[in-house]
Structure 1
Amino acid sequence: MSRAALLVLADGRFPAGGHAHSGGAEAAVRAGRITQAADLEGFCRGRLHTAGRVAAALAAAAALGHDPAALDAAADARTPSPALRAAARKLGRQLLRAARATWPAPELDALAHAFPRGAHQPVVLGLTARAAGLAAADAAYCAAYESVSGPATATVRLLSLDPFDATGVLARLAPELDQVVEQAVAGARRAAAEGVDALPAASAPLLEIGAEAHAAWPVRLFAS
């Protein structure tokens, strides 16, 4: 395993399309739920322990070799919002394109053939980590970190928030991110024996509601 591969995959400059998505932060800013760094920290904490935990478990399960089709169906079941499902598949399609160019692998080719319109991003992320020779925990870390770094970066642009404050939020969440990854990998391993129903299904209703409202805006800075 090359730890450098983890740095490449987790790098915000990896061309996976995440820069165009706010992870719900744009809707939260418009609704007045994020106005300063303290609000951002609360938002990211909630997202980490719900959507982030689910994404991390799906990515870990894919990295462990679980059936991608079953995982994609599980992701659909855990994403009530059509807007969020569409965003996840769009991100998955872009990530898969970048992954196939970076770490060519038959599993990635098979996924592209099975899901021409894109699989859910965490599933693609897990298979990408697997193709790069990374472990399930590495995939989970990438997914969990993306769940908070995306909103933090977006909020800097949306509110002209001091980037030092946004980075401080991410640093303070680091111990909780470790905890979420540990839970996610444990859930992914249980799924090997019990099926995908053993994966976490934590919900975040405001993220779902905000995504549907955001999708209807005529003008927006971010795609989701």
Structure 2
Amino acid sequence: MSRSALLVLADGRFPAGGHAHSGGAEAAVKAGRITDAADLAAFCRGRLHTTGLTSAGIAAAAALGHDPYELDAAADARTPSPALRAAARRLGRQMMRAARSVWPCADLDALAAAFPRGAHQPVVLGVAARAAGLGPEDAAHCAAYEAVSGPATAVVRLLGLDPFQATAVLARLAPELDRVAERAAAAAHAGVDALPAASAPLLDITAEQHAAWPVRLFAS
């Protein structure tokens, strides 16, 4: 395992398109559910243990080499919102472009050919992690971190929240991030049928509402 490769893949500046997505935070801010750092912490914790856990499991399974068709179908089944499915595939396309430039390999080429409109982002993330020489728990850590770092960064822009406070939220979630990644990787080792399927219905509902907004700062 290369710690440097893990840092590159998890870096928010990795050009995988995540900066354009708020992870549901924009809708939560507009609805008044996020107004300060404490609200952000609660939002991120809930997201981590639902969609974050689910994405981490799929990414870990892809890093292990499970069938990408099966994993993409599993991701579809775990994403009831059409808006979020579309966003996941857009992010998958962008992740694919970045990963093939940084870690070119036959597995990424095959995945791109199999899903010309984009596979779900956690599937691409897991294959990219494997191409980078990383393991399933590394891929799970990346997915879990993305699930909370995106909203934290977005809220700084949406509310003008002190970035030190937003970063402190992420730092205090670190032990839970580790546990979620470990749980996700363990499930991936047990097979696709054992992958987490935690849901967050409010995120699905607000994602559909957000997609219909005529003006918004983030794509999702």
TM range (shorter): over 0.9
Mapped to 2, the partners of 1:133 and 1:19 lie a distance apart of: 25
1:27 is paired with a residue whose SS is helix
Identity across matched positions, percent: 80
2:65 is paired with a residue whose SS is coil
- The Cα shift of 1:131 comes to 0.3
1:222 and 2:215 aligned: no
For residues 44-193 of structure 1, the aligned pairs below 5 Å read 44-191=44-191
Please give the root-mean-square deviation of Cα atoms over the aligned residues, in Å. Answer: 0.5
TM-score (norm 2): 0.99
TM-score (norm 1): 0.97
Superimposed CA distance per residue, residues 16-40 of structure 1 (whole angstroms, 9 cap, x where no aligned partner): 0000000000000011100000000
Mapped to 1, the partners of 2:99 and 2:82 lie a distance apart of: 25
> Could you list the runs of 5+ residues in structure 2 that have no partner in the other structure?
none
Mapped to 1, the partners of 2:138 and 2:197 lie a distance apart of: 20
- The Cα shift of 1:2 comes to 1.9
Moved over 2 A (4+): none
Mapped to 2, the partners of 1:14 and 1:148 lie a distance apart of: 16
> Could you list the runs of 5+ residues in structure 1 that have no partner in the other structure?
none
Amino acid of the structure 2 residue aligned with 1:129: A
Superimposed CA distance per residue, residues 146-185 of structure 1 (whole angstroms, 9 cap, x where no aligned partner): 0000000000000000000000100111111111011101
Q: What's the counterpart of residue 205 of structure 1?
A: 201
- The Cα shift of 1:3 comes to 1.4
Mapped to 1, the partners of 2:2 and 2:178 lie a distance apart of: 20
- The Cα shift of 1:198 comes to 1.1
Mapped to 2, the partners of 1:52 and 1:5 lie a distance apart of: 21
Mapped to 1, the partners of 2:11 and 2:186 lie a distance apart of: 25
